[in-house]
Structure 1
Amino acid sequence: MPENKSLVFDKNGKQLTEEEMQERIEVLRKLIQDDKHLQVRTDVNWLTRFLYPTKFEPEDAYKRMIDYYKLKAENPKFYFTESPNKMSHFLNTELKILLPDRDLNGRRVFITKMGEVPNNMSLTDLINMDDIWMEAVLDEPETQKNGLSSIIDLSKTPWAISKWLTPGNMRVGSKKADLVPFTDLQIHIVNTSPFLNAAIALIFPFLSTHTKEHIHFHYTDWPSLHKFVNPDILPKEYGGTQEIDHDAIREKYLYNNASTIVKNLSANYKLDL
């Protein structure tokens, strides 16, 4: 039976009351307000996105926030800061899409089809797309509590992306993945090949133990994937039943919320104060 995600426990396993949660929210808000380097929102939704992954420990959430935005300040090419409209030429492809429904544990489900990578796309462009989509859902309380299932489809992946697999790129990308404030990030790899298995072997040493533990290889075994993601919400190509309306989903989550996404993407850490 799935865990009751409406309950919140601290790192010692103690169930928190609403009052205790509010007290911890206020502690984190004060830590941020006293920090001249952090340029972030201090409303409840912003604070809880970092509190849920850290078991509502304010000091841990504060440290994670600093680490995340310091990484951004030191590696600006790995973070997007503009409107989704600036990326519409890539967003309007079938490369990445958010599913309307959630998986069996209430996680958002995000699909990346590497075979749809355009010839003129850079690694930075690909990362920028992820930033936009993530900011479209990170304010959702249910997403903050439950996390994200990322399905990465490697079918027809172009050989050209091998040039992206440099030690520097993989090191920063791995660290960013560890710090993105998802309570639970599950990664499902499907449609691999011998070439792609070799590429994955290059990437693995740069991944943290925590990330490795949350990667699942399904190849083309759809019943294996369905143990995590109900087929009723998946496209037919993954053994599901759904017809996905990409245009409607992009309009609802990206373009209708462009101003909020831009505001969220502007959060930063000032290194030169």
Structure 2
Amino acid sequence: MAVSVRPLTPALAEKARKELFEEPGRVAGDLQHIKDWIAKQPHLRARTDDQWLVAFLRGCKFSLERTKQKLDLHYSVRTMAPELYGIHYDNPFFEEMLSLGVFIVLPKSPAPDAPLVSIVRPGRYDASKHSIMDVLAASNNLLKILLVDNDNAIVAGSQSILDLEGVTMAHFLQMTSSTMKKMIVMSQDASPLRMKGTHYLNTPPGFETILTAMKLLLNEKNKNRLFVHNKNYEELYKHIPQDVLPIEYGGKAGTIAEISDYWRAKVKEYSAWLDEDLQYGTDESKRPGKPKTAEDMFGVEGSFRQLEFD
């Protein structure tokens, strides 16, 4: 049974075998099993191309049941929280985000089998004009591409640098309990990308309040992968090699503007694929059993006390 899955490099193939329990001889059968399951779900409109589905299998360590659950949740989130996906690549804010360097993914991995690194700079966008949801929606264009284009991200996972320089109270006030819940469900529960670490730089007053609230929503594994470096870049370099970082962070991997150009070209390459991807989601009126609701998935009002900032 032939499959259309890109061959892994030797280093990633070994990591996939050891850490994700990938057995090349079983991949075709596992993919067919998932496709057959999708075909029997009346509520689910899902991609069935092999490279997309193998990303979910790898993200779930080839557990067929977990893969089904994550696929269903992924498309449910798209339907229940359309604001997380509502800014397509042809929206002016997507170009603005790239131009400002609000969210970029570094094209070069630190090592052949190392996690991919992204940099988020929320202080770069105008909080009086846009929300953190806009940033997430725009960045999801890049994250969708990663799932089918970058084997390091899928097999080895991802690390994020969250640079809070320039973040204001207006940015903080956008981080409601509901917003944080949606962010966590989308990234931790509904995505096959495995979070290997978040590194906080240039943290302003009030940051600890947000971090404490976020930790309430994270699983134990991801709580232990949060690192606050503030202005200590040398500590950051112990986790992410300096030479793969942009020049702006003391690295040698080009400027943020050059990396943004890389992503402009990549989005152009995938534009038809991204257009096609808009059709997928769930129709909850056709779900067997009880339909899912946004309240079921994100209803966390009252889970936190009102956030208090110093």
Q: TM-score, normalised by structure 1?
A: 0.88
Residue of structure 1 in register with 2:173 after alignment: 163
The correspondence of residues 37-56 of structure 1 with structure 2, limited to 5 A, is 37-56=43-62
* CA contact 2:99–2:260 (8 Å) conserved in 1: yes
Task: State the aligned residue count.
Answer: 268
Residue of structure 2 in register with 1:20 after alignment: 26
Q: Which secondary structure state, in structure 1, belongs to the residue aligned with residue 114 of structure 2?
A: coil
* 5+ residue gaps, structure 2: 1-9, 287-310
2: distance between equivalents of 1:139 and 1:185? 19
1:217 aligns with 2:217: no
Q: CA deviation at 1:133?
A: 1.6
Residue of structure 1 in register with 2:135 after alignment: 126
Partner letter of residue 111 of structure 1? I
1:143 aligns with 2:153: yes
Q: Give the 4+ runs in structure 1 shifted more than 6 A.
A: none
Deviations 1:225-248 (A, max 9, x none): 223322111123323233321442
Change (3 A) 1:261 1:107: farther
The correspondence of residues 1-273 of structure 1 with structure 2, limited to 5 A, is 4-7=11-14, 8-9=16-17, 15-80=21-86, 83-86=88-91, 87-104=94-111, 105-118=113-126, 119-140=128-149, 141-178=151-188, 179-244=190-255, 245-273=258-286
Partner letter of residue 172 of structure 2? S
* CA contact 1:97–1:246 (8 Å) conserved in 2: yes
Partner letter of residue 109 of structure 1? V
Q: CA deviation at 1:188?
A: 1.6
Q: More displaced, 27-36 or 71-80?
A: 71-80
Q: More displaced, 39-48 or 99-108?
A: 99-108
Q: Which secondary structure state, in structure 2, belongs to the residue aligned with residue 149 of structure 1?
A: strand
2: distance between equivalents of 1:83 and 1:162? 25
* CA contact 1:91–1:129 (8 Å) conserved in 2: no
Q: Which secondary structure state, in structure 1, belongs to the residue aligned with residue 148 of structure 2?
A: coil
* 5+ residue gaps, structure 1: none
Change (3 A) 1:185 1:254: farther
Change (3 A) 1:191 1:61: same
Change (3 A) 1:248 1:79: closer
2: distance between equivalents of 1:123 and 1:14? 32
2: distance between equivalents of 1:6 and 1:172? 33
Q: TM-score, normalised by structure 2?
A: 0.78
2: distance between equivalents of 1:6 and 1:243? 29
Change (3 A) 1:97 1:162: same
Q: More displaced, 34-43 or 246-255?
A: 246-255
Q: CA deviation at 1:22?
A: 1.9
Q: CA deviation at 1:18?
A: 1.4
Partner letter of residue 26 of structure 1? Q
Larger RCO (alpha carbons 8 Å, 6+ apart):
1
Partner letter of residue 177 of structure 2? P
